[in-house]
């Protein structure tokens, strides 16, 4: 077993084109489940294929267990890959598929059979399936055979390229937890590529968010969610996505929907330092707390004292109350998503509300927002404004 | 007349349209079916006529209109197999030239198509065009040089010459066909094989071949049909030692006398292998390539 290190690794597909992977530095620890996530074209799959040896490096190097493997043949890198379409050999039985790599390594037949059965047992794969051809299997079974083919090799690193994308939604959720559990049990370093941020968040020990070939942030799911380093990560991680609203800066905060959203002092300092007049506010849907609409129709916009005239909920100086009209309600059962158009042309937001009695479309609602929950981003470059 | 229908039509309109559309659909379908059968029979009729004539005595073969009632006889077939020029050697030559050239074609086309699809060489487009361009020149234009070359290399009237020429004739088509089958091999599967540690030969033998083998079979069968039916080269470059089946058919036409029944019997014998092969090729083509590797 071993860790994996990308050191300034780059891949340029065509001369003069933008690099598919641009000077990637990533340190994956021994036994870690690392998820590479990003939209299509972000370079996540290319990064994985570079590690597999299916794409050459145009710069930098990649190490497995401290050994530079940049110029090592794929078969000698001691890795195993699970492909998106499983890539099983149609003419071979399940057992032959799983044992093919061992056969190529001239592992004796008894040992091969033992390891194939062992892998089948680990994966809960029916022994009767071992003699079948892949086309006789269901999608979920094929996926497990593809996993099994990786497991029997007992590699240093598992590479997985969107292995769940061909399964239906229910099976995907089930298999997701099985893979995570399996990885924990085997303790093999795993690099997992997905475009699905929910998969990334639920499976990864750490998640590396890529965009445009560049690493945006690599951190634990919790850290990514709570402390995104830029607007891209903030918008990409989380479902529904974080509300990102551009608002002009005023004394003590940012003006939004006729109210002043107070900002943490560190955000204000950073905004002053960058001499910003506008700021992008980031507020998670669940941090828009539904509250009573005050007697006055609009919340006075001026500084602290004036706000006391509004609804009682806004009395706290560390918070603000935003008014808006519900446009659409998506009921999810346990909770409901409110699509709200903020007052004073403040833009559209999504808020998470208690599922039992959500407001009806067309209804005027008020949200309390705590200053500690409001993230600030530089509108010019998307960088996080924080102390 | 037109005035009457014009006034009648609106009155019927409320009940009619649904049924009339259905009727129109059925008659349309029937029309296409009838047309299909007519065209099919028109194409098949000469073959049926040839087949029936082969069983007629020579005297009743050349009648107009053709007779469909007669007492069948195998006399002409007997003559084909054991007449003054028996068909045996011709079948043998044809079989050797066909099988030999087809094997040669496959041996050459397989690596060539691999190098033009899965691991394309530089300028693969030009190579591909070159192969097909060899089919553009009329073979008549090449027969003079070919004759001279065959003469100088002492290959005139030799079965080896036919093997080489038939292989050359079928190679471009085979390369194009096998290449298209190889392009169907999923890239991921080849990558999986690379990661699994399969070398070039294992990759071809254990991963690519099983996927393309139905395609190889149909390619081989098409090569067999083309080589078996080839007349022009055989006619110009062989006399007796390598004369093929189509040559036998020509020699079945005597200088004088009745020959239609005899020719029909010979043609039927010549057609049987091709019809068989065509039938097999159709089945293997239908079986297709997708074997469930990729979802």
Give the neighbor-by-neighbor strand order of the sheet with A335-342.
A289-291, A364-370, A319-331, A335-342, A348-354
pTM score, two decimals? Answer: 0.78
Yes or no: say if A208 and A176 are a contact pair by the CB < 8 Å rule. Answer: no
Share of chain B residues as helix, strand and coil, in percent rounded to the nearest 5: 75, 0, 25
Contact B189 A100 (CB under 8 A): no
User: What is residue A37's predicted lDDT score, i.e. its pLDDT?
Assistant: 95
> Pairing between strand A214-219 and A59-64?
unpaired
Contact B192 A81 (CB under 8 A): yes
What is the average pLDDT across B19-32? 85
Yes or no: say if A45 and A161 are a contact pair by the CB < 8 Å rule. Answer: yes
The answer to whether A186 contacts chain B (CB < 8 Å) is: no
Read off the pLDDT band of B96 (50, 70, 90).
Answer: very high
> Pairing between strand A33-37 and A189-194?
parallel
List chain A residues with CB under 8 Å of B189. 87-89
Integer Cα distance of B128 and B133 in angstroms: 9
Yes or no: say if A133 and A90 are a contact pair by the CB < 8 Å rule. Answer: yes
Read off the pLDDT band of B215 (50, 70, 90).
Answer: confident
- With a cut of 50, say whether residue B85 has pLDDT above it: yes
The answer to whether B119 contacts chain A (CB < 8 Å) is: no
The answer to whether B195 contacts chain A (CB < 8 Å) is: yes
Of B194, B202, B293, the CB nearest to A74: B194
Of A85, A104, A105, the CB nearest to B186: A85
Q: HSE, CB side, 13 Å, CA atoms: give it for residue A81.
A: 28
The CATH fold assigned to B87-289 is MetI-like fold (1.10.3720)
- How far away is chain B from the Cα of A81, in angstroms, using its nearest Cα? 8
Contact B195 A86 (CB under 8 A): no
User: What is residue A309's predicted lDDT score, i.e. its pLDDT?
Assistant: 39
User: What is residue B283's predicted lDDT score, i.e. its pLDDT?
Assistant: 67
User: What is residue A215's predicted lDDT score, i.e. its pLDDT?
Assistant: 95
User: What is residue A2's predicted lDDT score, i.e. its pLDDT?
Assistant: 87
Interface list for B 33-52 with A (CB within 8 A): none
The answer to whether B205 contacts chain A (CB < 8 Å) is: no
Beta bridge partners of A320: A369
And the tokens for A295? 């007697």
Which of A88, A149, A167 is the mutation pick for testing B, counting most B CBs within 10 A?
A: A88
Residues of chain B with pLDDT > 70: what percent? 89
Contact A90 B202 (CB under 8 A): no
| Nearest residue in B to A104, CA atom | B197
Of A91, A100, A139, the CB nearest to B196: A100
Read off the pLDDT band of B102 (50, 70, 90).
Answer: very high
The answer to whether A84 contacts chain B (CB < 8 Å) is: yes
User: What is residue A316's predicted lDDT score, i.e. its pLDDT?
Assistant: 57
Contact A83 B198 (CB under 8 A): no
Give the pLDDT confidence of B174-183 residue by residue, as tens digits. 998 899 889 8
The answer to whether A47 contacts chain B (CB < 8 Å) is: no
The answer to whether B294 contacts chain A (CB < 8 Å) is: yes
User: What is residue B259's predicted lDDT score, i.e. its pLDDT?
Assistant: 80
Yes or no: say if B108 and B169 are a contact pair by the CB < 8 Å rule. Answer: no
What is the average pLDDT across B278-285? 72
Question: Which H or E run contains A336?
Answer: strand A335-342
ipTM value, please give it: 0.81
How many beta-carbon pairs below 8 A join chains A and B?
80
| Nearest residue in B to A72, CA atom | B195
And the tokens for A185? 């049990």
What is the average pLDDT across B51-63? 80
Per the model's pLDDT, the better-predicted residue between B288 and A71 turns out to be A71
CA dihedral A61, A64, A67, A73 (to 10 degrees): -80
User: What is residue A294's predicted lDDT score, i.e. its pLDDT?
Assistant: 67
User: What is residue A127's predicted lDDT score, i.e. its pLDDT?
Assistant: 86
Closest C-alpha among B165, B152, B151 to residue B100: B165
Yes or no: say if A102 and A147 are a contact pair by the CB < 8 Å rule. Answer: no
User: What is residue A274's predicted lDDT score, i.e. its pLDDT?
Assistant: 87
Give the pLDDT confidence of B228-247 residue by residue, as tens digits. 999 898 888 888 888 888 88
Per the model's pLDDT, the better-predicted residue between B252 and B17 turns out to be B252
Show pLDDT as tens, one digit a residue, over chain A (387 residues).
689 999 999 999 888 888 999 999 999 999 999 999 999 989 999 999 999 999 999 999 999 999 999 999 998 999 999 999 999 998 899 999 999 999 999 999 999 999 999 999 988 888 888 999 998 998 889 999 999 999 999 999 999 999 998 889 888 998 999 899 999 999 999 999 999 999 999 999 999 999 999 999 999 999 999 999 999 999 999 989 999 999 999 887 888 888 889 888 888 888 888 888 999 999 999 999 998 886 444 444 444 344 433 444 444 568 889 999 999 999 988 899 999 999 888 889 999 998 888 899 999 999 999 988 999 999 999 999 874
Read off the pLDDT band of B7 (50, 70, 90).
Answer: very low
- With a cut of 50, say whether residue B113 has pLDDT above it: yes
User: What is residue A285's predicted lDDT score, i.e. its pLDDT?
Assistant: 94
Which of B190, B195, B199 is the mutation pick for testing A, counting most A CBs within 10 A?
A: B195
Q: What are phi and psi of A83, to 5 degrees?
A: -90, 160
Buried b (16+ CB within 10 A) or exposed e, B192-216: bbbbbbbeeebbbebbbebbbebbb
């Amino acid at each position: 077993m071993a860790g994996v290190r990308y050191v300034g690794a780059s891949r340029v597909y065509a001369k003069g084109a933008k690099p598919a992977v641009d000077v990637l530095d990533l340190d994956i620890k021994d036994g870690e489940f690392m998820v590479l996530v990003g939209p299509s074209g972000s370079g996540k799959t290319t990064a994985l294929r570079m590690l597999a040896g299916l794409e050459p490096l145009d710069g930098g190097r990649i190490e497995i267990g401290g050994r530079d493997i940049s110029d090592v043949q794929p078969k000698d890198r001691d890795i195993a890959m699970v492909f998106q379409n499983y890539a099983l050999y149609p003419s071979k039985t399940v057992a032959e598929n799983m044992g093919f790599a061992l056969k190529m390594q001239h592992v004796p037949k008894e040992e091969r059979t033992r390891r194939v059965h062992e892998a089948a047992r680990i994966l809960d794969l029916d022994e009767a399936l071992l003699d079948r051809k892949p086309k006789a299997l269901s999608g979920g079974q094929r996926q497990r055979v593809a996993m099994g083919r990786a497991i029997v090799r007992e590699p240093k690193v598992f590479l997985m390229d969107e292995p769940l994308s061909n399964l239906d939604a229910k099976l995907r959720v089930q298999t997701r937890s099985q893979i995570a559990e399996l990885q924990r049990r085997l303790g093999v370093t795993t690099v997992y590529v997905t475009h699905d941020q929910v998969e990334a968040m639920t499976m990864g020990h750490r998640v590396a968010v890529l965009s445009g070939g560049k690493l945006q942030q690599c951190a634990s799911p919790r850290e990514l969610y709570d402390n995104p380093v830029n607007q891209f990560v903030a918008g990409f991680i989380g479902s529904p996505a974080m509300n990102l609203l551009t608002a002009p800066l005023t004394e003590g905060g940012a003006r939004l929907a006729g109210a002043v959203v107070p900002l943490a002092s560190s955000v204000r300092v950073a905004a002053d330092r960058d001499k910003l007049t506008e700021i992008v506010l980031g507020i998670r849907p669940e941090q828009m707390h539904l509250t009573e609409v005050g007697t006055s129709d609009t919340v006075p916009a001026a500084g602290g004292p004036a706000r006391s005239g509004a609804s009682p909920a806004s009395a706290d100086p560390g918070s603000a109350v935003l008014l808006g009209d519900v446009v659409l309600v998506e009921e999810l059962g346990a909770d409901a998503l409110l699509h709200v158009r903020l007052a004073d042309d403040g833009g559209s937001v999504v808020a998470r509300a208690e599922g039992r009695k959500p407001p009806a479309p067309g209804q005027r609602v008020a949200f309390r927002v705590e200053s500690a929950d409001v993230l600030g981003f530089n509108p010019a470059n998307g960088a996080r404004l924080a102390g | 007349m037109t005035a009457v229908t014009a006034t009648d039509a609106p009155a019927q309109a409320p009940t009619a349209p649904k049924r009339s559309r259905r009727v129109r659909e059925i008659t349309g379908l029937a029309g296409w079916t009838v047309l299909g059968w007519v065209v099919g029979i028109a194409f098949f009729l000469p073959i049926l006529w040839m087949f029936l004539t082969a069983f007629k005595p020579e005297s009743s073969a050349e009648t107009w209109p053709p007779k469909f009632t007669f007492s069948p006889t195998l006399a002409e077939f007997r003559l084909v197999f054991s007449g003054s020029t028996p068909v045996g050697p011709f079948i043998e030559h044809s079989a050797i030239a066909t099988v030999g050239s087809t094997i040669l074609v496959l041996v050459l086309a397989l690596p060539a198509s691999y190098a033009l699809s899965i691991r394309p060489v530089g300028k693969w487009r030009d190579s591909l065009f070159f192969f097909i361009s060899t089919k553009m020149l009329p073979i008549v234009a090449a027969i003079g040089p070919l004759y001279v070359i065959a003469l100088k290399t002492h290959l005139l009237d030799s079965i080896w010459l036919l093997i080489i020429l038939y292989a050359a004739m079928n190679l471009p088509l085979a390369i194009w066909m096998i290449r298209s089958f190889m392009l169907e091999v999923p890239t991921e599967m080849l990558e999986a094989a690379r990661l699994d540690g399969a070398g070039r030969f294992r990759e071809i033998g254990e991963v690519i071949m099983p996927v393309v083998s139905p395609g190889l079979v149909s390619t081989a069968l098409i090569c067999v049909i083309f080589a078996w039916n080839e007349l022009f080269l055989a006619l110009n470059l062989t006399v007796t030692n390598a004369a093929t089946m189509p040559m036998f058919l020509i020699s079945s036409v005597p200088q004088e006398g009745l020959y239609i029944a005899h020719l029909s019997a010979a043609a039927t014998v010549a057609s049987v292998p091709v019809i068989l092969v065509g039938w097999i090729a159709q089945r293997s083509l239908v079986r297709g390539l997708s074997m469930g590797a990729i979802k």
